[in-house]
Chains A and B, each alone.
Chain A
Amino acid sequence: MSGHRIVAITRRLLQGFRRDRRTLALLFVAPIVILGLLGYIMRGSTSAPEVGVANQDSGPLGAIVADGLKSSSHIRATDINAADGDAKLKDGSLVAYIVLPSDFSQQAQAGTVAPEVHLEGSQPGEDAPVIQALQQSMISLASRVSGRSVTFQFQVKYLYGGQNYDTLDYFGAAFVGLVVFFLVFVITIVSFLNERSQGTLERLMASPLRRGEIVVGYMLGFTVLALVQAVEVLVFALAILHIHNQGSVFLIFGMEALMAIAAVNLGIFLSMFARSEFQAVQFIPLVVVPQVLLSGIIFPVSTEPKGLQWLSDVLPLTYAVNGMRDIMVKGADVTWPSLQLDAAVVAGFCILLIAAGTATLRRRLG
């Protein structure tokens, strides 16, 4: 081993980076963006989930628990009518509601209380603060009931999902779409850069091809591949992994197809800003990771800090993930307005990217 020769290799490597400022910037900016986002999501959240409280207790103790819930920092509790609860869960205005039954005070005096906890249930992680708040208010209730201990038996009911759903069922719905989106994006951006670096794009530009023809041709080619991949992913997820699915397989496939088309066009568009495959690969953490963190796959959008929620609301993956969960966990069909909105936003994003990709594909090189 020659130290001199090893140093020569190391020096050569660093000299190359010195002149590739874009890669250098991405190398140092990407981790700050990703870790910063993660920190902000996990620690910066000021928004607590909306929870309804239906106090039907004819005695005095229900009011104590209801007040405890309203003063909890884990949730934002408001009084509701129990009959409206399910509708509010469906329209997304509540993530849960708690019913304190009419004999709640009597139950407490008898030593066992059984409040009903109704959870929306389509996203993991949203039920934890509800249960936490309820447990705290139950502890304050216990101190008011003198002479005996009180046992809590929450009756948890899920609007969607349920106890037979495991973590994979919740994440699987989102990941089925994400896997297709991510892989198609990577393949497209690298292929389009190949077209540039091997000189064939220059040839295409010197031919009668219109820019839009290149972009749409690329989109169709990769979409064919992406659709085959989408079928494979779907079959594996449903038949081998047995991920729960309440909706139509064709709707899942349709949403996957939309995500694939969005990924193809995002790849074409972003390839315009990279000069080498090396630089293109740097886009992956910068483009894909923040979307994964912010689109509700891992952390529900409703639990993010307000500023990040606005950002989540403009990301296409947020709608795609929501659409996939609507179909697979909630059993949504085409008549659901939320699914219509999700599909429309992803489709709109595809159109926007086709236009952007076409506009940035310049015929003239300089």
Chain B
Amino acid sequence: MSETYAVTVEDVSKSFGSFKALNGVTLRVRQGEIYGLLGPNGAGKTTLIRLICGLLEAHAGTVTVLGQRMPQVAVLRHIGYMTQQAALYPALSVEENVRFFAAINGAEDGVKQALELVQLYERRGSVVATLSGGLRQRCSLACALVHRPELLLLDEPTVGIDPQLRVQFWDSFRRMAAAGTTMIVSSHVMDEADRCQRLGLIQYGRLLAEGSPADIRTQGGSQNLEEAFLALAGRNES
């Protein structure tokens, strides 16, 4: 794997009032890898993703994406962002939603491929308001990847969807990574961690550990990732 980094986060801190959401986080995401941001709810995963796509500005430290220091509007056309909630226009159809996000990214020719990738091409005429949560998540994913971004930020993409669909999602992620897309996927579900090439464990706004799932198991002293995470979290607290 190449040692070129798609994302570099250097000693980044971010506070909201007196609450420190991120505290001196440093991590690097290689080009073309699936990087898992793992941690409990409120750990700082979403804040980190928002910093990476320029929606927030760090109080200290630097975030560099695809060679550009963030926030930088020009980089945004190369980023796809799937928010935690399926942020869609409920009165529009699946295709109209995807077509809109394609248009604002100047990539109308990618609509059919994106719909096929998330297996929604047959349902493209359905109005989003009438779809189940899982189908909405798939539509949301299609909107995030329709312009074939170099970096895809997926904030808890599998929350609220059934195990079968989750498997399909991860198949899609793997195919995209194989095609060269860098992916940062946040999750608080440990069984998803094994599907990532590298992991960053976050708790209380700090990076507890970083490495491949095997590295994390070794660092945590357990064959079970969840136990390894709890062990690392416990060491951090003590």
Residues of chain A at the chain B interface (Cβ within 8 Å): 198-200, 202-210, 363-366
Contact = CB atoms under 8 A, between A and B. Distances in A.
A200 B81 contact: no
A203 B76 contact: no
20 contacts: A198-B89, A199-B85, A200-B87, A200-B89, A202-B55, A203-B101, A205-B55, A206-B53, A206-B54, A206-B76, A207-B76, A208-B73, A208-B76, A208-B106, A209-B104, A363-B54, A364-B56, A365-B55, A365-B56, A366-B56
B16 A366 contact: yes
Contact of A203 (B54, B57, B83, B90): B83
Interface string B79-96: 101011111111000000
A203 B77 contact: no
Contacts of A363: 54-55, 71, 73
A260 B86 CA distance: 32
Nearest 7 CB-CB pairs, A to B?
A199-B87, A206-B81, A208-B77, A206-B53, A208-B76, A200-B87, A203-B87
Chain A CB count within 10 A is highest, among B53, B88, B104, for: B104
A363 B105 CA distance: 16
B69 interface: no
A193 to B, nearest CB: 14
Contacts of A202: 55, 83, 87
A3 B192 CA distance: 49
Contacts of A207: 76-77, 81, 101, 104-105
B96 to A, nearest CB: 13
Contacts of B79: 206
Interface of B: 16, 50, 53-57, 71, 73-74, 76-77, 79, 81, 83-90, 101, 104-106, 143
Nearest to B81: A206
A364 B83 CA distance: 15
Contact of A364 (B71, B74, B88): B71
A203 B74 CA distance: 15
Nearest to A362: B55
Contacts of A210: 73
A120 to B, nearest CB: 49
Contacts of A203: 81, 83, 87, 101, 143
B57 to A, nearest CB: 5
A364 B104 contact: no
A169 B155 CA distance: 58
Main secondary structure, interface of A, reads loop
Contacts of A364: 54-57, 71
Contacts of B73: 208, 210, 363
Contacts, number: 58
Given A206-B81, A365-B50, 15 more contacts: A198-B88, A198-B90, A199-B83, A202-B87, A203-B83, A203-B143, A205-B55, A206-B53, A207-B76, A207-B104, A208-B104, A363-B71, A364-B55, A364-B56, A365-B55
A209 B79 CA distance: 12
Contacts of A205: 55
B71 A200 contact: no
Chain B CB count within 10 A is highest, among A200, A206, A210, A364, for: A206
Chain B CB count within 10 A is highest, among A200, A363, A364, A365, for: A200
Contacts of B74: 208
A262 B85 CA distance: 33
Contacts of B81: 203, 206-207
A364 B57 CA distance: 7
B65 to A, nearest CB: 11
A287 to B, nearest CB: 26
Contacts of A198: 85, 87-90
Chain A CB count within 10 A is highest, among B55, B101, B105, B143, for: B55
Contacts of A366: 16, 56
A206 B55 contact: yes
Nearest to B57: A364
A206 B81 CA distance: 7
Contacts of B55: 202, 205-206, 363-365
A364 B74 CA distance: 15
Contacts of B57: 364
A365 B58 CA distance: 11
B51 to A, nearest CB: 10
Contacts of B16: 366
Nearest to B50: A365
Given A208-B73, A365-B50, A365-B55, A200 B88 contact: yes
Nearest to A214: B104
Nearest to B79: A206
A362 to B, nearest CB: 10
A307 to B, nearest CB: 40
